[in-house]
Amino acid sequence: MLSKWLQSRKITTGRRSLQQEAIPLRKHLKDEAKRKKAEARINGDNISNKRQRTDPRLEKWELTVGIEIHAELNTACKLFSSASAEPYDQQHATTPNSRVALFDAAMPGTQPQFQVATLLPAVRAAIALGCDVQHKSGWDRKHYFHWDQPNGYQITQYYKAFAKDGSLTLRASDGVPAGDLNGADSLVIGIKQIQMEQDTAKTTNVGSSAYHIDLNRAGMPLIEIITLPHIHSPQTAAAVVRKIQAVLRSVDACVTGMELGGLRADVNVSVRQRGTDGTGASYSGVSGLGQRTEIKNLSSFKAVEDAIVAERDRQISVLEAGDVIEGETRGWTLGATETTRLRGKEGEVDYRYMPDADLPPLVIGRDLVQHLTQTLPTLPDAMEVELQEIYGLSLKDAKTMIDVDEGDRVDFFETAVEHVLSSDDEASDSDVAANKRKVGKMVGNWILHELGGLLTTQERSWDDVRVTPKKMSDIIVLLQGKEITMRVAKQLLTEVFEQEPCSEPVPTIEQLVDAGNLRLRPLTQRGYEELAQSIVDASPDMVKAVREKGQKGKIMWFVGQMVRTGDEGTVEPEKAKEVLERLMARNGAP
C-alpha cells in the first residue's frame, strides 16, 4: 500500500533516489565549493594558529556550546507550494525569481499547502538521528518584518516539532579531542528536537542602499536540528556539524552540504567557572550554565570552530575583568579574530508565535516511520565498520572513502568489488569472506590511491570521472590473472581516465589491451637472462654499487630498467628481480 503510494508519486527512498534527478550540473556546484575552500584557506589562518596553543585560562573556565543546524531538504518542491526546490543548475542560478508560486510571494488570498513529499527526507533524517517521530505535530507562525520574508512571518514547528529526543554519537576518529572523551570510546550529544520550517528569500546588496530580492529560496523546506548544550570544545562542535552533515547525506535527506550553502549553523556559546553553576541558566533539563550568546549563520566547519574559540576567549576576558556577559546575537566573518555584536536583549524581536490557522496538524503514520526505518540506507558509522570488517580497508581509508565526493566513491567501490568477485569462480565457500577482504583492499587501493592520484594531478572532480566500476574491475581482473603487468594496468587506467566524452562507442578494456598489444607475453627464462645481462653490462657503476658497496636496494633500479627496456607487457617485475639477484650473486655480489 505504502510502496504503491510512494511509486504513484515517483518518490523512492533508496540511496540515490531524488539525488540523481536533482543535480543536473553538479560540476558547477563543485567548482564553486573548491573556490570557496581555497578562499577559506587564504583567509582563515589566524585563528587556527591560536587554536594550537592552549590557553591556561581554560583550566579555570569551562566552555559550553549548543548548536542549531539548518539544512535544506532533498525534495523536488517547496514546503507549502509546488514550486521547484531542486538544487540550482547553472541556468536557474542566473534566473532569480523563476521558482516562485503565488503563495511564496505572499499574494493575498493564497494559502499554504503542505507538500507531503517533503516529509520523507525529514523523517529519514529524524530516524537517522535517533529521534522519536511524533505522531502529531503542528505549525506556528514566527513573526518578524523583513524584506526576506514576504508573509511577515515564517512557518515553523518550534512549539510542536515533528521529531524529539535524538542523539548523535561521536568518536575520536570523528575529530573529538581526548579531553572531551574522558577515557570513554564515544561521546553522546543530545538532540532536543528537529523541526520543519520555511527558508527565507535571498537578498543581495547592490550599491550602498539598494537590495535585490530573489524569492527562489523563499519557502524552501528546511529542517532545524537543535542540539542540547552538551558540547565542551570548539573541535567537538565542528565534529558535530560535520557528522550531522554526513548522516544527512547518507540517508539522502540533504544533498548540498555546508560548502554550497545547503547547511548553516548557529552556535550558542557560554562559559562558566569550573565547579560552579555559572549564572544558574538552564536549557531543556541541562542546568548550571553560564549566560549564552548566539553567533548566527556560520557556513563552514572552520567558521564554527573559529567563531567559538573567539567568542569563548572574549567571554572569559569579560568575566575576568569583573563584567557580566549579556545575552546577545553576534556575528562572525571569515578570517576574523573576534565576533561582533549585532544586537542585544533590547534588540531582540518579539516573534509573537501563534499556531498557523491555515494549516491542520501534521499527522505522521506509524507505517510510514516503520517503512522508512526498514529501508534506511547504511549510516556512516555502520558503513565505516562494514568497510573495515567486510572489505578489509584500514580505518583511514574507510573514512576517506566515506567522506570524499559525498559518498559516491563508496557506491563505486562496492560495485567494483562485486564485479571483481563475480569474475572469480574459483574461491571456495570457506574463503569467500577472506577473499572479499583481499579484493576489497586491492580495489580500495586502486580507487583511493591510483584513481585518487589522477584526480589530484589532473585537477578533475569526481563527477568528471569516466572510469566506470566495470572498467576499473576489468583492469584489476586482468592484473590479478597476470594477463597484464602493473605498469600496463596503470597505463590503461590513465587512458580511460583521460578519454574525452565522445559520441563514438567507448572501447572496452579488452579492446584497448588487444589494440595496444598489451597482454603479458612472458619472456622465456633465457629472454629474461639475456635482457638482465645486457642491462648489467651497460651500467658498470650501478653494478659496482650493488657488488662492492652492498647497496642491495639498487636492484630495483635494474628491475625498472628491465621493465622499461623490454617490450611492453613482457617483463614481470618480480620475475625480473629474481633473475637479477641470481645474476648479481653469480657475478660476485655480496
Ligand X SMILES: Nc1ncnc2c1ncn2[C@@H]1O[C@H](COP(=O)(O)OP(=O)(O)OP(=O)(O)O)[C@@H](O)[C@H]1O
Binding site for ligand X (CB under 6 A): 64-68, 226-229, 266, 268-270, 281, 283, 289-290, 292, 294
In the bound complex, what is the minimum distance in angstroms from residue 288's beta carbon to ligand X? 9
Q: Between 6 and 298, name the residue whose CB sits nearer to Mg ion.
A: 298
Pick from 289, 177, 179: which is nearest to 229 by CA?
289
In the bound complex, what is the minimum distance in angstroms from residue 76's beta carbon to ligand X? 26
Look up residue 522 and give its three cell numbers. 612472458
Residue sitting closest to Mg ion (CB): 68
Query: Which residue blocks in 213-365 are alpha helix, DSSP H?
Result: 234-250, 301-320
Amino acid 584 reads M
Q: Is 581 in the site for Mg ion (CB under 5 A)?
A: no
Q: Between 283 and 462, name the residue whose CB sits nearer to Mg ion.
A: 283
For residues 478 and 513, the answer to whether their CB atoms sit within 8 Å is yes
73, interface contact from ligand X, Mg ion, none, CB < 5-8 Å by kind: none
In the bound complex, what is the minimum distance in angstroms from residue 183's beta carbon to Mg ion? 32
Look up residue 452 and give its three cell numbers. 585518487
Q: Between 351 and 557, name the residue whose CB sits nearer to ligand X.
A: 351
For residues 13 and 124, the answer to whether their CB atoms sit within 8 Å is yes
Distance of alpha carbon 368 from alpha carbon 516, whole angstroms: 55
How many other CB atoms are there within 10 angstroms of residue 282's CB atom? 13
Candidate segments 36-44, 62-70, 398-406, 523-531, binder of Mg ion by CB under 5 A:
62-70
255, interface contact from ligand X, Mg ion, none, CB < 5-8 Å by kind: none
Q: Between 77 and 231, name the residue whose CB sits nearer to ligand X.
A: 231
In the bound complex, what is the minimum distance in angstroms from residue 179's beta carbon to ligand X? 18
Candidate segments 73-81, 186-194, 259-267, 470-478, binder of Mg ion by CB under 5 A:
259-267
Distance of alpha carbon 77 from alpha carbon 217, whole angstroms: 11
Q: Between 74 and 315, name the residue whose CB sits nearer to ligand X.
A: 315
R_g over Cα of the chain: 30
Pick from 18, 71, 283, 371: which is nearest to 196 by CA?
71
Q: Which residue has the cell 565576533?
A: 339
In the bound complex, what is the minimum distance in angstroms from residue 224's beta carbon to Mg ion? 6
Q: Which residue has the cell 528546511?
A: 222
Candidate segments 60-68, 82-90, 95-103, 490-498, binder of Mg ion by CB under 5 A:
60-68
Q: Between 348 and 548, name the residue whose CB sits nearer to ligand X.
A: 348
In the bound complex, what is the minimum distance in angstroms from residue 296's beta carbon to Mg ion? 7
Q: Is 89 in the site for Mg ion (CB under 5 A)?
A: no
Full DSSP string of 256-279: S-GGGTSEEEEEEEEEEETTS-TT
In the bound complex, what is the minimum distance in angstroms from residue 242's beta carbon to ligand X? 17
Q: Between 65 and 496, name the residue whose CB sits nearer to ligand X.
A: 65
Distance of alpha carbon 111 from alpha carbon 81, whole angstroms: 9
Question: What residues have CB less than 8 Å from 20, skipping those under 6 apart?
Answer: none
Q: Between 327 and 550, name the residue whose CB sits nearer to ligand X.
A: 327
Distance of alpha carbon 407 from alpha carbon 419, whole angstroms: 19
Three-state secondary structure call for residue 60? coil
Q: Between 151 and 494, name the residue whose CB sits nearer to ligand X.
A: 151
Pick from 240, 233, 295, 309: which is nearest to 51 by CA?
309
Q: Is 329 in the site for Mg ion (CB under 5 A)?
A: no
One of 32, 68, 148, 578 touching Mg ion (CB under 5 A): 68
Query: Which residue blocks in 44-118 are alpha helix, DSSP H?
Result: 45-52, 90-93
Q: Is 358 in the site for Mg ion (CB under 5 A)?
A: no
Candidate segments 260-268, 318-326, 390-398, 532-540, binder of Mg ion by CB under 5 A:
260-268
For residues 125 and 194, the answer to whether their CB atoms sit within 8 Å is yes
64, interface contact from Mg ion, ligand X, none, CB < 5-8 Å by kind: ligand X
Pick from 318, 320, 322: which is nearest to 339 by CA?
318
Q: Is 331 in the site for Mg ion (CB under 5 A)?
A: no
Candidate segments 63-71, 86-94, 243-251, 304-312, binder of Mg ion by CB under 5 A:
63-71
Q: Between 30 and 292, name the residue whose CB sits nearer to ligand X.
A: 292
In the bound complex, what is the minimum distance in angstroms from residue 429's beta carbon to ligand X? 52
Q: Which residue has the cell 507562525?
A: 141
227, interface contact from Mg ion, ligand X, none, CB < 5-8 Å by kind: ligand X
For residues 550 and 590, the answer to whether their CB atoms sit within 8 Å is yes
Half-sphere exposure of 143 (CA within 13 A, CB side): 7
Residue sitting closest to ligand X (CB): 66
22, interface contact from ligand X, Mg ion, none, CB < 5-8 Å by kind: none
Q: Between 269 and 298, name the residue whose CB sits nearer to ligand X.
A: 269
Site string for Mg ion, 266-305 (x = CB under 5 A): x---------------------------------------
Three-state secondary structure call for residue 332? coil
**Contacts with Mg ion, residue ranges (CB under 5 A):** 68, 266
